[in-house]
Structure 1
Amino acid sequence: MATETFTWPATASMTKQVKFGVSTAQFGDGYKQVARKGLNPAAPTWNVSVTGTQDVIAAVEAFLERHGADTAFNWTAPRVGLVLVRATADGYSTSESGGGAATLTVSFERVYVP
């Protein structure tokens, strides 16, 4: 099965957070030894919001529910380009804006494959 692509445009207020995977050993004299974990120690996540009509939000919901938190898909991240991501296990939330509009918010985490 081909990898699908998330194509809906995100709002401009998107945030990105990067956590670094490290192992640390703290010694009694204040010295701390730090080493990177694995080949890809940076773990970025993006908080993405999509605003649109009820039909647009329903299509985004269907896409996310089809992939769940275990199936990766392509997405174009700002300043990064096309990356492989999946929705986090926190799922997504929606809010109604009135006038037939709604906003869906979801977090994507980058997926690394060998």
Structure 2
Amino acid sequence: MTDTFNWVPTRTGGGTANGVVRRAKFGDGYSQSAPDGLNARWRSYQLTFTGSQARIEQIIDFLDDHIGRSFYWQSPRGLLLFQCDTHSEPFATGLVHSITATFEQTFQP
């Protein structure tokens, strides 16, 4: 069973929708393009989580446990599958900690 990431980000750097397109260009200026595969559009989100050291450690533990594995996250486009292979490491300074993470949409059959 796939886990769900339940923490709400305190800030987002926005999202990016990426299209995968196969293109062929010919010498006479003619070109063709078509979506490449069944899932030709995928999204990624740059997220920031801020809170107590305990909250941030819970988030880091979840992300570390899911390296290379998908999880559900409630994105602006709905509950979708994502992976997070990149996140920042916070320095222990003060009472408020924060990390940034990049969530990339994944697909499963």
TM-score by length of structure 1 reads 0.86
What is the number of equivalent residue pairs in this alignment?
A: 109
> 1:34-113 counterparts in 2 under 5 A?
34-68=33-67, 70-78=68-76, 80-88=77-85, 91-96=86-91, 98-113=93-108
Q: CA RMSD in A?
A: 1.6
**Structure 2 gaps, min length 5:** none
Q: Which of 10-19 and 47-56 deviates more?
A: 10-19
**Amino acid of the structure 2 residue aligned with 1:40:** N
- In the TM superposition, structure 1's runs of 4+ consecutive aligned residues that sit over 6 Å from their partners are none
* Amino acid in the other structure paired with 1:84: L
Specify every segment of 5 or more residues in structure 1 that has no aligned partner in the other structure, as ranges: none
Residues 46-69 of structure 1 deviation map (CA, whole Å, 9 limit, x = unaligned): 11111111111111110011011x
Identity, % of aligned pairs?
Answer: 33
8 Å Cα contact 2:12/2:45 also seen in 1:
no
Give a deviation string over 1:11-49, Cα, whole Å, max 9, x none.
233311111111111112222210111111002111111
In 2: Cα distance, 1:45 partner to 1:106 partner: 10
Letter in 1 for 2:70: A
Cα distance in 1, alignment partners of residues 102 and 71 from structure 2: 13
Q: Answer yes or no: is the 8 Å Cα contact 1:74–1:84 preserved in 2.
A: yes
CA distance in 2 between partners of 1:105 and 1:31 (Å): 43
2:4 match: 5
What secondary structure does 1:19 align onto?
Answer: strand
> What is the Cα deviation at residue 99 of structure 1?
2.9
User: Which residue in the other structure is 1:29 paired with?
Assistant: 28
